[in-house]
Structure 1
Amino acid sequence: MAASSTSVRNIVSAEEWEARVNLAAAYRLTALFGWDDLVFTHISARVPGPEHQFLINPYGMMFDEITASSLVKVDLDGRKVMDSPYDINPAGFTIHSAVHAAREDALCVMHTHSVNGVAVSAQKDGLLPLSQQSLGVLASLGYHDYEGIALNDDERPRLVRDLGMHTFLMLRNHGLLTVGATAADAFVAMYFFEAACMIQVRAQAGGGELTRIAQPILDGIKEQIATVTRGVTAGALAWPGLLRRLDRRNPGYAD
């Protein structure tokens, strides 16, 4: 039987509990926005502290029922470091542990198989500069070719190479990946990634000639974003409102 929220909260640091609550919220918001793929994608968060440990979803639990206490804590070898009745998805571990090991700044890693994201990932030219939403993504976007279900450790160095220092990674024929310093940053980055893909698919479905945004505008987008967000991240700006929405529609993630 899984430990209760009270007992889990009592045996972890305040910093880890906060990370657990925000990660559980990110899972439930992913379901709320319709980006989940039953139980088959993942969001992971680094556990604060010197150890290389991170939190990931219990395999088999739907995203809209994940709680702070049910998240599984593992090390970089996939071994559980806290008692849990749940296993983890080995494919999720391959992708997420590779990124966490390579990027100290990637404290949260989010991966989806959203319909729009997979649709664009199957297009040869990938994400196009068709919308304002696409520009921030294109300013920090890598691509990784499909190598089958991510089970082989041999794929890890190529995935890390293709991500580089980007915030966004399009996994061709597979889906989307974002990284962030917080769950909020990774989630809001995914919001814009998914929105850009949705807009592209709908624009292409319209059948008319598409107008691409000019390169000089793309080149200046990072400075414009910094002005709009007033020196903080988009995640920090949007997260409190997202949590209020979640509290209204699907409370209980902090259990």
Structure 2
Amino acid sequence: MINCIVVDDEPFAIGLLEDFIRKVPFLELVQTCENALEALEILKRGNIDLMFLDIKMPDINGLDLLKSLKNPPVVIFTTAYSEFAVESYNLDALDYLLKPVPFDRFLRSVNKAREYIEIGRAGSNADIPVEKAELDYFFVKANYQILKINFSDILYLEGLKDYVKIYCGPKAIMTNQSMKHIESRLPSASFVRVHRSYIVSLDKITSITKNRVVIGDKHIPVSGGFRDSFFQLIEKNL
């Protein structure tokens, strides 16, 4: 069960979200709050997994409320104003719903929240890494949203100066998360770094030469610092 609160100064908006939440079996509405100060009191008690948060409210707006929280719950913004979308994602909001929110859009958003929250719970159980929870996917922030990527879809990853490209086909998913962080999320039995700027999926390798890994039409360099460990791994599977 996912415990949630609604923070909004508009009674109609609160009522609509209450109705939506009642329709979703895995959501439990703990409290509705008409302003940020009420929300702060509820959040101090802990045990809130998800917050539906309006932006334009009296005294303290939703963006400032989120900025003030040291350990915020997962946040889905609900607002009539599209111009705050970029700032909301810079604050790590999971989603941004424009009012009036249709139920199908709400449902997609809370399903995404459930997957995100379950990953956190799985990763905290017995302090084990996420990959050992036997998940076959992970999430990345890209294009002002959070995307689910199946490990089996990944061909290779390319690290550039300020972002990483994840190739899952002809198009790449770009994220500003670091290569090191993403590498820590990948199952080590299936992915290997062959270059400072490249991680490849072992399953997707077409052929290997002395200095190149070929995946489809892409020729990926194998650098000296990673060559020995890479070929030792390959030799174990010969």
Instruction: Tell me if both proteins adopt one fold, taking TM over 0.5 as the criterion.
Output: no
Q: Of the two structures, which has the highest relative contact order with CA contacts closer than 8 Å and spacing of 6 or more?
A: 1
Larger radius of gyration: 2
In the superposition, the TM-score normalised over structure 1's length comes to 0.27
